Structure 1
């Protein structure tokens, strides 16, 4: 292994330890990695730059980086504080095979547009820097969410802040099932699903084994991993630079073995539409153009049970990474519309009811 490659791997370990994260570096014997499997000289330099910027983002953007312990399961969390007890907090939940850093660019856009809001993200079990796990059942993930949110709210005295929970893909299914039951202990004011529809999701699971088999088992470098994602899954390089590093171990293998999740697939998305529509508060569904509504969602849309936003732009399944500014605007408008509909109609739309009455939420 070349000196620059050794220096890069040493830097990864040092940065993880400096951030107080549970490092996986101890598990890899970097000296035994074959030369042909390590990044080339140019890739090593680029990787060093990517990791530097990625680490700076984590440490500079989030006010609190901490781990929660629940029944021997460690959940890694990141928190950008709201400006006051009256400010809203977005809770962002990622999907299978991803990590909380999939929301990195969306988080920066939300804060850029409205510095008063708070942002809370965490790694699901078996993802990112949370504990490894062989149990990915929907019920276990829902239980984790309840535990993490309860500790988060109580630890930081956020009982008076409104929570708006946003879930992408599997994260949307976890959120919807969690909120299908009344949660009086948490001040959840709204729910948002990003690019997941029950009927399409259930059908897509048929292709999952093929996808898992065909994707690379290991990458030559972080930059090569980013290139692979840009070729198959993402459209925004800027987002990819912030989301991909946490998907990989120091030896550049995947942190999450998606094959281990297969026993749980059958229960992930069944009942998603019903769960989403059963939440009594405001609801928002944001889709990319390739998704289509199923029967329950079509009926719910006709009955005005939720707000629908569909992006026709150049985007794939990871709409929050491809179009972070668009999604941020949609989320903030959703909050404004539901927190103070009269003010939203007047300030954002220039509409004042001539009859002088109040606008229903």
Structure 2
């Protein structure tokens, strides 16, 4: 080939388009085939994004990157996504579960509680969940409290009609009445009876010093128990999480709308966990993995297409909604003991609590980055605040000055010896 021909061929080759890349450009959500990121099973997700505030939106913000080890047409439920929806056992967070047999005039009741006993001189943190939840709503919180204060005990209660607590009526039920008595006075009696039964079961000589912690409805219950004064000087204080009278009463107006918007059932427990995190009902995936399974039970119909239904029928509690919260602010301010109020926003404060806060009658802490389930969304910060609250109200370390009479008596005794 002559030099002229070589020059001509090189010029032609130089004008050809460059070689196609070996791998395609990263696909993004909304590509042509309409498949979702999870369906393709090739979502590249940084595990560091799995914090409490972003877990539910990770799949909508991630970028798909084909990986050599992935099948582009795999169905959903890759190893990492499946692991994030696996349930966690209660034994990872508590030492024991107890079934305590209680009784009232017209019913017997089997209380179910989770317990990590306190050390000999340690306090007992007693937690009460909100409507529709269970004692495992405080699971992650409980394990963190124990790490921060190794001598502490945690008692987390399943309220009647929730979790594994079961009510057995002694007499035929009146069909015109709600199937379970969820009145505030009854729930308060339940909590007091659980404390006494637990003391007997664990063979404690006396009740340990206590901090009561209640979320939502549980906040109304622990406030009511504190107001009765039946725990005496064993109650150091009580903490109420994200409930005040004014906003609670306003929220009841839209409660049925909220209940109708929830899925009535789920195909699996994993899908129930996923719904809670994606809807940001619970923003901490770890907490959802331990608490959500206790909210669901199998449908009695073996042929149900979605066999996992809600354990507690919240619609059945509607006759008691106003009863739970009327007068809550007044009781919260008047009951004896230290007072702590944790809210997800200052807009939840009503007039009575705003005045009380300005007068320094209670401690207020706001977590605007949390949702309604503060103890689940931010368990570390909630636990740290409650432990610090206990330390400020712990009387065992309080050294009082001697009485004047004791000083004079001691001087007289010393003079007599001389």
Partner of 1:262: 318
Distance 1:260 1:282 in 2: 34
TM-score (norm 1): 0.77
Q: 1:328 aligns with which of 383, 391, 398?
A: 383
Give the alignment partner of residue 126 of structure 2, picking from 87, 91, 108: 91
**CA distance 1:305–1:211, shift in 2 (3 Å):** same
1:111 to 146, 149, 154: 146
Deviation at 1:270, TM superposition (A): 0.3
Give matches, 1:9-28, under 5 Å: none
Give yes or no for contact 1:159–1:187 (8 Å, CA) kept in 2: no
Where 2:308 maps in the other structure, the secondary structure is coil
The alpha-carbon deviation at position 158 of structure 1 amounts to 5.8
What displacement does 1:60 show? 4.6
Deviation, 1:117, is 0.6
Report the number of matched residues: 298
Higher mean C-alpha deviation, range 301-310 or range 147-156? 147-156
Deviates more, 1:324-333 or 1:143-152: 143-152
Q: 1:99 to 1:291 in 2, by over 3 A?
A: farther
Q: Spell out, residue by residue over 1:1-21, the C-alpha distance to the aligned partner (whole angstroms, 9 max, x if none).
A: xxxxxxxxxxxxxxxxxxxxx
Deviations 1:209-255, CA, capped at 9 Å, x for gaps: 11111211110121211121121412111111111010000331010
Task: Say yes or no: does 1:284 pair with 2:330.
Answer: no
User: After TM superposition, what 4+ stretches of structure 1 lie above 6 angstroms from structure 2?
Assistant: none
CA distance in 2, matches of 1:65, 1:341: 29
Runs of 5+ in structure 1 lacking a partner? 1-39, 344-361
Conservation of the 8 A alpha-carbon contact between 1:159 and 1:186? no
Measured in 1, the distance between the counterparts of 2:205 and 2:257 equals: 44
Report what 2:218 is aligned to: 171
Counting only pairs closer than 5 Å after superposition, residues 25-44 of structure 1 correspond to structure 2 as 42=77
How do 1:123-162 residues align onto structure 2 when only pairs under 5 Å count? 123-131=158-166, 134-156=180-202, 157=204, 159=206, 161-162=208-209
Q: Is 1:249 paired with 2:297?
A: yes
The residue number in structure 1 matching 2:261 is 214
Cα shift readout 1:140-176 (whole Å, capped 9, x = no counterpart)? 1111111111212333216252110000000000111
The counterpart of 2:115, out of the listed 79, 95, 100, is 79
Instruction: Measure, in 1, the Cα distance between the counterparts of 2:215 and 2:231.
Output: 24
Secondary structure, aligned partner of 1:276: helix
More helix by share: 1
Equivalents in 2 of 1:229, 1:285: separation in Å?
25
**Residues 152/341 of structure 1: CA separation in 2 closer, same or farther (3 Å cut):** closer
Contact kept, 8 Å, 2:163 with 2:294, in 1: the verdict is: yes
Q: Secondary structure at the match of 2:310?
A: coil
Question: Is the Cα contact below 8 Å between 2:282 and 2:288 reproduced in 1?
Answer: yes
TM-score, structure 2 length as denominator?
0.67
Deviations 1:18-41 (CA, angstroms, capped at 9, x unpaired): xxxxxxxxxxxxxxxxxxxxxx99
What is the RMSD of the two structures over their aligned residues, measured on CA atoms?
2.4
- Quickly say closer, same or farther: Cα 1:173–1:42, change in 2 above 3 A: same
Gaps of 5+ in 2: 1-74, 168-178, 299-306, 399-418
SS in 1 for 2:161: coil
Moved more, 144-153 or 202-211: 144-153
Give secondary structure in 2 for the equivalent of 1:275: helix
Check the 8 A contact 2:94/2:143 in 1, yes or no.
no
Q: What's 1:66 paired with?
A: 98
Between the aligned partners of 1:112 and 1:48, the Cα distance in structure 2 is 24
Alpha-carbon contact 2:94-2:115 (below 8 Å) kept:
yes
Matched, 1:236 2:284: yes
1:101 is aligned to 2:136: yes
Q: Report if the CA contact (8 A) 1:195-1:291 is conserved.
A: no
1-structure distance, mates of 2:164, 2:322 = 26
- The SS at the match of 1:192 is strand
The answer as to whether partners of 1:95 and 1:169 remain within 8 angstroms in 2 is: yes
Change (3 A) 1:266 1:184: closer
- Quick one: distance in 1 between partners of 2:275 and 2:346? 21
